[in-house]
Amino acid sequence: MTITQPDLSVFETLESEVRSYCRGWPAVFDRAQGSHMYDEDGHAYLDFFAGAGSLNYGHNNAVLKRALIDYLERDGVTHGLDMSTTAKRAFLESFQNIILRPRDLPYKVMFPGPTGTNAVESALKLARKVKGREAIVSFTNAFHGMSLGSLAVTGNAFKRAGAGIPLVHGTPMPFDNYLDGKTPDFLWFERLLGDQGSGLNTPAAVIVETVQGEGGINVARVEWLRQLAELCKRRDMLLIVDDIQMGCGRTGAFFSFEEAGIVPDIVTVSKSISGYGLPMSLCLFKPELDIWEPGEHNGTFRGNNPAFVTAAAALETYWTDGAAMEKQTLSRGQQIEETLAALREEHSDEIKQYRGRGMVWGAEFRDKSKASAVAKRAFELGLLIETSGPESEVVKLLPALTITPEELDEGLRILARAVRETI
């Protein structure tokens, strides 16, 4: 694909140096549909990024777009803080009837703000309020957001350094297989909890991702998650599952923790909950934890009514028969896994391992610089993929759940070519 040099002058002169994705993808994108994005010159790019997981149903999904356009054309409320609106009621009823009740999940629903880090901040604040304790335990290579509370439970040193102040009241513990299986699960954690001289204040909560996306596609075993849930219950700590990137069907089931058969005390949801890429997040928690005073945690953009509209449409379209969606996701995931297995076999000297669940996968390179080189070459060939891991050593695959088998196969072929031409 021949790409002309786009005019990036206004971005480079006016926009902050903090911009990142645009550096790896030097194009000016103009439109998008399904699993494709198009730059202003008309070049097509197959999207294995999906808005960092905020577009599980693809770009400009026709069903969701129609619902949104109809709502806007009738002058539906677009901004309402936390006022009661017909759009919010429709979403809450759909969420209760399609997601919560069939799974026997008792959660209350809180709209804490538009982004994932808003949901995490509210979860941490609530856990501390309920338990009357400050300490939170997180895990190595975790990522929970960029605001201060979320950064305090995030592992990445580069992102933590951006805070500019000490990040306190968070203690990291080893994630599943962090110690290469040489130490029994939770041995260190249990020892610290039981030792009055350990220096670990009794935690209010433990926050965990079932699959660490930004941390390098690190997948927790169901047995590990069950042991963690049991440990939290036994030691009077709340269990928070951060399902911001791995929820909404990314791993197969609607919630990523379903396979483990656990019921977390608090769950954070964002990214694809609106279905359309519109900002929206949820903090879900057991009813007995709902001790908020009115207005104790608020924000101007809690009531994103257009997002309620597309979220309800997504649930009704894709999750009324959740088994079908889950089966499709697992089938597509198997297609990805088979390709990565073949790539690993062909390039075992370069590809250290591959791992994933459902429709989130990663390939880790022994030479950590190769992952970025592969992503760059993939872009040149018309495929958008990002890297993850503490040193960007993992090529991360995050296609839309609605991608067709043919599109998925095309993207995987491009990935294989990028690997061969790079290493």
pLDDT in tens, 38-56: 999 999 999 999 999 999 9
pTM above 0.85, yes or no: yes
Query: CA separation (Å) from 27 to 9, 20, 202?
Result: 12, 13, 50
Task: Kindly state the average pLDDT of the residues 373-383.
Answer: 98
CB < 8 Å & 24+ apart, contacts of 368-371: 368/392, 368/393, 370/422, 370/423, 371/395
Which pLDDT score, from 0 to 100, does residue 5 have? Answer: 75
DSSP string, 380-416: HTTEE-EEESTTS-EEEE---TT--HHHHHHHHHHHH
Please say if the pLDDT value at position 3 is more than 80.
no
Instruction: Give the closest residue to 304 by CA, choosing from 144, 71, 53.
Output: 71
Please, is 285 exposed, middle or buried when counting C-beta atoms within 10 Å of its C-beta (0-12, 13-18, 19+)?
buried
- Which tokens sit at 37? 């994005």
Please name which of 5, 90, 152 lies closest in space to residue 310, comparing C-alpha atoms.
Answer: 90
Nearest to 238 by CA among 215, 208, 260, 213: 208
- Would you list the DSSP string of 236-256? T-EEEEE-TTTTTTTTSSSST
Please say whether the beta carbons of 355 and 246 come within 8 A.
no
Tokens 């804490």 correspond to what residue? Answer: 112
How is residue 117 written in tokens?
A: 């880090």
Confidence band, pLDDT 50/70/90 cuts, at residue 303 = confident
Query: Residue 79: beta bridge partners?
Result: 304
Summarize pLDDT for 322-348 with one digit per residue, the tens. 899 999 999 999 999 999 999 999 999
- Residue 327 structure tokens: 């089966």
Which of these, 54, 100, 25, lies nearest to 375 by C-alpha position? Answer: 25
Q: Number of C-alpha atoms within 13 angstroms, CB side, residue 18?
A: 5
Rounded CA-CA distance 81/234 in Å is 39
Residue 318's pLDDT is 97
**Which run of H or of E encompasses 300?**
none
